[in-house]
Structure 1
Amino acid sequence: MSTRADSLAYQSGFGNEYASEALAGALPQGRNSPQRAPFDLYPELISGSAFTAPRHENRRSWLYRRRPSVVAGRYQPYAQATWRTGGDKAQAVPPEPMRWHPTPLPANIADIDFIDGVHTVAANGDADAQSGVAAHIYLAGRSMEKRAFVNADGEILFVPQQGRLVITSEMGVLEVKPGEIALVPRGVVFKVALPDGPSRGYLCENYGAQFRLPELGPIGSNGLANARDFQAPVAAYEHDGEVAYELVKKFGGHFWRAPTSHSPFNVVAWHGNLSPVKYDTANFMTIGSISFDHPDPSIFTVLTSPSDTPGTANCDFVIFPPRWLVMENTFRPPWYHRNLMSEFMGLVYGEYDAKPGGFKPGGASLHNAMVPHGPDEEAFDKASHAELKPQKLDNTLAFMFESRYRFIPTEAALQSPQLDTDYADCWAGLEDQFKS
């Protein structure tokens, strides 16, 4: 199995019926589970949705592998104390805006791989109830060698901020750089390599309905993230498959480990519509106003996880990429706001136009439901007096995990030295300018 970027190939589309084989003839034709599969491979189905889910929501893939997943040792508890699941309802969260400075890489970063490097900042919902999300920071300095991970609680959305990731999954290999994102479905085994060394980024762990492309409505048939720009891996397997691995599983908020006598990345062929994918945010077709006012941030939604209330998402993944601002007689940064939805925000690179000084790449902010927020004093003053000519916001990429549920920061996040206890001061200078 190759992990060289220049040798990787991809399939195009989001939620497509993909089909791929690393060995010609390995994929059965005309049936999913023949009496004997080609090359004596084991057929194995992975279902990402209930069997009876509506066709347009049904996700599943058939894998043809050298050994089935049931071949593994007994699971034993595994300690991962910094990755939390769901919100701690006993944790009192002040109703005020919060911000964290970038978390520095620890001194022992060379000893930390992806599994051990995940730190939960805030979470909500319940994995067993299949609702809510968790927002994490990952700090990793060592590639996962002969070690694999599977999350039975939710799918994982990767947002790298520093350093590329090479994500090897059962379906194949994805390389993901800052500015790109990757989505690994619930239950799919993967490992993470770090070709650039120490790496930092954000994760959204989604317990609810699977992420999908948002409906376009009056936008029409083109715009936002187009399905063709998502890339799924092609089949690839580790040829030296009889090598012992450690498999770590997240299950019901707890972590477990089991030995295996072989590589879990032994899928020679597969087909279906459940697959990891990656997406380059540079391909996002940004929509904006060409007359007046700043539109709602929902126009920047890349992926959405719907809830049982139409239009009110379990989670929306929203980006703020480079774009033109041309609105007339308009305060162009995002307006002051109190929102039913809760907003966890991060910055991949550049500046965020509403917080040009205080919000740094690798940092995070949290504005929970009905917590007022908006441009700081510097941004307000600049936007109020700027000459309104066409303006390009360039070299910037911010994002938001927006959820109908209140985010509850972990105790570690509330006690972190990176918590900006002076965050509210950025609005202190907004004086009463009323003139009657």
Structure 2
Amino acid sequence: MKDELKYLTGFGCELFSEDTRCPGALPVGQNNPQKCPYNLYAEQLSGTAFTVPRNQNKRSWLYRIKPSVVHKPFKVFNRAYDNESYDWNKTYPNPNQLRWKTFDVPSRQDPEVDFIKGLHTLCGAGDPRMRQGVAIHMYLCNASMKDRAFYNADGDFLIVPQLGALQITTEFGKMRCEPNEICVIQQGMRFSVTVFGPSRGYILEVFDNHFQLPDLGPIGANGLASPRDFQTPVAWYEDLETDYEIVCKYQGKLFVADQDHSPFDVVAWHGNYVPYKYDLDKFMVINSVSFDHCDPSIFTVLTCPTNKPGTAAADFVIFPPRWSVQEHTFRPPYYHRNCMSEFMGLIKGRYEAKENGFSAGGASLHSVMTPHGPDKQCFEAATKNELKPERIGDGMQAFMFETSYSMAVTEWASKFCNKLDDAYYECWQDLRKNFEPIAVDSLNARNY
């Protein structure tokens, strides 16, 4: 099936989208008439409190064949497949630079593992019960979800495919998400994932708020990610009476309820609380044309703010192909200690500051105030190369989940996945002392 998507016209503001599969299915002049067209049920999905300011209010009205309340009681999901963890105190804190090699995916010959069973938590902080914090997951799967839908009561999922495309069916319609695209499934939205072979990707989960476009400030009206490039599904429904499982993630645990019909029975909808996708190739890079190295915040695609101005619960940042043109400047990322936690992943290619060891489908974590930066090979090349305009990152796409929270690493990520690179620290050990005090003293004498 060819994807049917439409572009959002007011991403991050109060402008609304609407769509229907049946003429006249959307009520005119009100949201909840006494009797809906086609004898549908009206149901509101609220993503914010009713009383938040108008320009922050997020909700959508769904007109469906049966309301989503028609299901049997939730029970604990099969815990043999529960690889998610929000018990951040279960492992001892680790301030070291951490790197994981490419995570293994189940092959076609292995037992079937769908998107839900393939979720593995790497790190995080906070508490979904308090609606504050983040979590980072990998999905490692080889099978499609069959007669099963999933929703996250704890927060939003920002999904970054790395291996294999995802065909995602939501209550709002279908969308296909390829590697080098991202999609966001917001809190409470029911969805099902179809894969086409072994599949791997990254997930950033936020509890605090919802993702939005960053303010542009002095950049002006254009640059970074444009609202017109975000797409959301058009209405699609199935009138299907069959046994269906609804899997819910609630307070960090998985539960399942049975129902006798498909949850994807929304005939029409309107609102500004929707799932959406974005093609990372459409990001308009802002970069330095004079000197020094701009902070990575200039590469922010989406941000999830906290109540503290300018401080994010999470930023989604990319490092796309671009021109490097700074004069008299060390051009790669500078050596750095940060009050934020920086989790990096690689979708494809070789990352400029770590061409060896940092692999696609792997990851790294540089925790609060833990120093990091280019390896020896990158440093020495960057201090000797002729500074002329050059392309960086062709065929490469790296990204960063940056958060103001101090992250804890799970047992699975530190012990059970067997992908932690114990030799990561060695990439900096051969950085030698280049200090030349005599030459500096002579320079000072000449200058003064």
| Band of TM-score, shorter chain | over 0.9
Q: Per-residue deviation at 1:245?
A: 0.6
1:211-290 to structure 2, matched below 5 A, reads 211-239=211-239, 241-290=240-289
More moved, 15-24 vs 333-342: 15-24
Within 1, Cα distance between the matches of 2:213 and 2:379? 33
8 Å CA contact retained: 2:183, 2:277: yes
Structure 1 position 186 matched with structure 2 position 182: no
Within 1, Cα distance between the matches of 2:85 and 2:53? 28
Within 2, Cα distance between the matches of 1:90 and 1:143? 32
Within 2, Cα distance between the matches of 1:155 and 1:203? 10
Q: Tell me the equivalent position of 1:114.
A: 115
Within 2, Cα distance between the matches of 1:153 and 1:430? 44
1:75-154 to structure 2, matched below 5 A, reads 75-80=74-79, 82-86=82-86, 88-106=88-106, 109-154=110-155
Q: Per-residue deviation at 1:7?
A: 4.6
1:251-330 to structure 2, matched below 5 A, reads 251-330=250-329
Match of residue 6, structure 2, among 7, 10, 13: 10
SS for the counterpart of 1:61 is strand
Q: Per-residue deviation at 1:55?
A: 1.2
Within 2, Cα distance between the matches of 1:434 and 1:54? 56
The aligned amino acid for 2:183 is A
Q: Per-residue deviation at 1:132?
A: 1.3
Within 2, Cα distance between the matches of 1:86 and 1:301? 26
8 Å CA contact retained: 2:164, 2:200: yes
Q: Taking structure 1 as reference, are residues 134 and 44 closer, same or farther at Cα in structure 2, changes over 3 Å only?
A: same
SS for the counterpart of 2:130 is coil
The aligned amino acid for 2:164 is G
Q: Tell me the equivalent position of 2:354.
A: 355
8 Å CA contact retained: 2:106, 2:141: no
Within 2, Cα distance between the matches of 1:203 and 1:110? 23
Q: Indicate the structure (1 or 2) with the bigger Cα radius of gyration.
A: 2
8 Å CA contact retained: 2:348, 2:395: yes
Within 2, Cα distance between the matches of 1:336 and 1:25? 59
Q: Taking structure 1 as reference, are residues 426 and 87 closer, same or farther at Cα in structure 2, changes over 3 Å only?
A: farther
8 Å CA contact retained: 2:304, 2:313: yes
Within 1, Cα distance between the matches of 2:128 and 2:243? 30
8 Å CA contact retained: 1:87, 1:124: no
Within 2, Cα distance between the matches of 1:234 and 1:362? 31
Q: Per-residue deviation at 1:109?
A: 4.5
8 Å CA contact retained: 1:61, 1:272: yes
Within 2, Cα distance between the matches of 1:69 and 1:131? 27
SS for the counterpart of 1:299 is helix
8 Å CA contact retained: 1:11, 1:234: no
Within 2, Cα distance between the matches of 1:18 and 1:60? 11
CA RMSD of aligned residues (A): 1.2
Give structure 1 stretches of 5+ with no counterpart. Answer: none
Within 2, Cα distance between the matches of 1:70 and 1:104? 38
SS for the counterpart of 1:124 is strand
Structure 1 position 406 matched with structure 2 position 406: yes
Within 1, Cα distance between the matches of 2:388 and 2:110? 46
The aligned amino acid for 1:307 is T
Q: Tell me the equivalent position of 2:442.
A: none
Within 2, Cα distance between the matches of 1:410 and 1:91? 6
Q: Per-residue deviation at 1:312?
A: 1.0
8 Å CA contact retained: 2:82, 2:254: no
8 Å CA contact retained: 1:66, 1:266: yes
Q: Per-residue deviation at 1:82?
A: 4.5
Within 2, Cα distance between the matches of 1:63 and 1:85? 32
The aligned amino acid for 2:386 is E
SS for the counterpart of 2:379 is helix
Within 2, Cα distance between the matches of 1:231 and 1:7? 11
Within 2, Cα distance between the matches of 1:222 and 1:143? 39
Q: Taking structure 1 as reference, are residues 102 and 434 closer, same or farther at Cα in structure 2, changes over 3 Å only?
A: same
8 Å CA contact retained: 1:354, 1:375: yes
8 Å CA contact retained: 1:110, 1:140: no
Q: Per-residue deviation at 1:90?
A: 4.8
Within 2, Cα distance between the matches of 1:255 and 1:86? 12
8 Å CA contact retained: 1:110, 1:198: no
Q: Tell me the equivalent position of 1:423.
A: 424
Within 2, Cα distance between the matches of 1:7 and 1:280? 14
8 Å CA contact retained: 2:303, 2:316: yes
- Cα displacement string for residues 276-329 of structure 1 (whole angstroms, at most 9, x for unaligned residues): 000000000100000011100000000111111111111111011111101111
Q: Tell me the equivalent position of 1:395.
A: 395
Within 2, Cα distance between the matches of 1:206 and 1:361? 24
Q: Tell me the equivalent position of 2:445.
A: none
Aligned residues: 430
Q: Per-residue deviation at 1:57?
A: 1.2
The aligned amino acid for 1:48 is G
SS for the counterpart of 1:111 is coil
